[in-house]
Amino acid sequence: MNRLILRTKARLRDAAKPVAEIAVGALTIALLRTTRFFDPDKTADFFGRVTRFIGRRLREDRIGRENLKAAFPEKSPEEIEAILAGVWDNLGRIGAEFAHLDHIWDYDLDHPEKPSRIEFTPRTKQIFDALRDDGKPAIIFASHLGNWEIPALGAVAHGLDCAILFRRPNIEAADRAIERIRAVKMGTLVPAGREAPLKLAEALQRGQHVAMLVDQYMGNGVEVTFFGRKTRANPTLARLLRQVECPVHGVRIIRLPNHRFRAELSEEVKPARDASGQIDIQGTMQAVTSVVEGWVREYPDQWLWLHRRWR
């Protein structure tokens, strides 16, 4: 009898899953379309407040708190809670901004004196111009800091030929809606999967720039140290370097007051090498992870602490 009940429940879940996915997909499409009708700044403020309220009641809030305590044992409970509130606020703002991706990057190269949401240092512009004009491939990594969707907009807006690795949502209808938005001025999108490393290597061989997020935990990844504790990182970046040696730079978008952002490119991150001179996978990913840790230490309330970082 128990087996029959369990089988029945499983069949009901399987039958209900497509309906649930359709509903979530429709809701995603409706939310994205509706958000575009409203002022992006006011919507970002509203979404930030909503996610701060709802997020503090979700399981992910506990995960984020545990992660923050592990990363910053010296911080008081009040400081941890303030950082966590900022994490939820940032996440809500990203949701609102996503619907307006096609006009968030408004920096005008021909008229740099015009008011803009975006600022960057002369050194970042110098590095960017060199990457764009040297005729060589490069790998550019980012993390879930600030608004991590924006770097691709700046790259395309200023002529940097990019192939961007991204992860599809699990729900097909939501995936189609999100991909339509991402396809606007965001370069060549390469979905994560078995064929992704080959496509990215081919892009590098053609002289393109490959961009990817590198700060997600990966169960079968290489071991690195992050905030003093062992975790596992996706080795794709280092494995690509073994196939096509090229410069590696990090990019981050820092959220500023008054709905503005600062874009920063790092200096070249040198890969680690083994005794034979070959790219060392673990050592290179540790170098990249150390850059990300430095970023997060500066702006902990703008990083996505809501998933398990150490397992």
DSSP string, 4-48: HHHHHHHHHHHHHHHHHHHHHHHHHHHHHHHHTTS-HHHHHHHHH
Q: Could you tell me if residue 111 is inside a domain?
A: no
Q: Could you tell me if residue 311 is inside a domain?
A: no
For residues 136 and 83, membership in a common domain is answered with no
The angle at the Cα of 93, spanning 301 to 163, to the nearest 5 degrees, equals 90
For residues 276 and 150, membership in a common domain is answered with yes
- Its domain, for residue 57, covers 1-99
For residues 123 and 152, membership in a common domain is answered with yes
Domain total in the chain: 2
For residues 90 and 141, membership in a common domain is answered with no
- To the nearest whole number, what is the mean pLDDT of the chain? 85
Bridge-based pairing of strands 118-120 and 138-142 is unpaired
Question: What are the tens digits of pLDDT across the range 52-107?
Answer: 999 988 999 999 999 999 999 999 999 999 999 999 999 999 988 888 877 788 88
CA-closest candidate to residue 123, choices 254, 259, 262: 262
Residue 235 has pLDDT above 70, yes or no: yes
Question: What are the tens digits of pLDDT across the range 109-138?
Answer: 778 888 899 999 999 999 999 999 999 999
Please tell me the predicted confidence (pLDDT) of residue 224. Answer: 98
Q: Could you tell me if residue 305 is inside a domain?
A: no
290 phi-psi bin (left φ>0, alpha ψ -120 to 50, beta other): alpha
Q: Could you tell me if residue 186 is inside a domain?
A: yes
For residues 69 and 155, membership in a common domain is answered with no
For residues 84 and 125, membership in a common domain is answered with no
For residues 68 and 135, membership in a common domain is answered with no
Residue 260 has pLDDT above 90, yes or no: yes
Cα-Cα-Cα-Cα torsion 109, 166, 285, 216, nearest 10 degrees, comes to 120
Strand ranges (DSSP E) for 146-283? 162-166, 188-191, 209-213, 217-226, 229-233, 248-256, 260-265
For the record, the structure tokens of 81 come out as 């809670």
Q: Could you tell me if residue 240 is inside a domain?
A: yes
For residues 81 and 131, membership in a common domain is answered with no
Q: Could you tell me if residue 303 is inside a domain?
A: no
For residues 17 and 126, membership in a common domain is answered with no
